[in-house]
């Protein structure tokens, strides 16, 4: 199964594609679509849509998982994020792919085991689950990979097909992880 994860943003949209055989996860691609703040907002949205369309054609995932909108104090930021999510979802639908949405708490729970985990804990577990030597950069890419891993761990069709979707044995518990400097 191949899952394309998206962490939407109006200035930086993270993306990451993960492939799994049911027991081991492998990174296909990850990165961020960065739009200049000097670019008009509609042009930024067009850039996000074009780049995601290209990436979805190249990666050929089975589905797209996207982070759901969270509650925000700043209404303007929430609206811009909603627009970015909309063009990301449009790119997926135009590619004929199912779109699944997960809240930040669901993503943290699926990746770390705790719905209120810190960002550093999520990033560290992404690194461990994918067998990487370093946390994916920028952080938006790591977040998008976490969204994809969340779907892999939550996918009912995979479980119904008898695939055991479990983390690699060398991954440690999130409780044991401590960010540098603490």
Q: What are the catalytic residues? A: 7, 67, 140
Helix (H) or strand (E) holding 6: strand 2-7
Question: Which residues are CB-neighbours of 96 under 8 A, at least 6 positions away?
Answer: none
Q: CB count, 10 Å around CB of 93?
A: 12
Q: CB count, 10 Å around CB of 166?
A: 13
Tokens 């930024």 -> residue: 44
Are the CB atoms for 49 and 93 separated by under 8 Å? no
CA-to-CA distance for 139 and 3, rounded, in angstroms? 19
CA-to-CA distance for 165 and 153, rounded, in angstroms? 6
């Amino acid at each position: 199964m191949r899952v394309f994860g998206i962490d939407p943003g109006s200035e930086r949209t993270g993306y990451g594609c993960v492939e799994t055989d049911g027991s081991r996860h492998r990174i296909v691609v990850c990165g961020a679509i960065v739009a200049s703040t000097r670019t008009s907002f509609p042009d930024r949205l067009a850039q996000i849509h074009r780049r995601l369309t290209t990436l979805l054609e190249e990666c050929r995932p089975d589905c797209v998982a996207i982070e759901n909108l969270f509650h925000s104090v700043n209404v303007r930021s929430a609206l811009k994020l909603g627009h970015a999510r909309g063009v990301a979802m449009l790119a997926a639908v135009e590619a004929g792919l199912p779109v699944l949405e997960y809240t930040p708490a669901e993503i943290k729970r699926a990746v770390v085991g705790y719905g209120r985990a810190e960002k550093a804990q999520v990033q560290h577990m992404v690194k461990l689950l994918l067998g990487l030597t370093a946390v994916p950069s920028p952080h938006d890419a790591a977040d998008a990979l976490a969204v994809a891993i969340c779907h892999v761990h939550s996918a009912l069709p995979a479980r119904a097909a008898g695939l055991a979707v479990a983390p690699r044995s060398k991954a440690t518990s999130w409780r044991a992880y401590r960010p540098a400097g603490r």
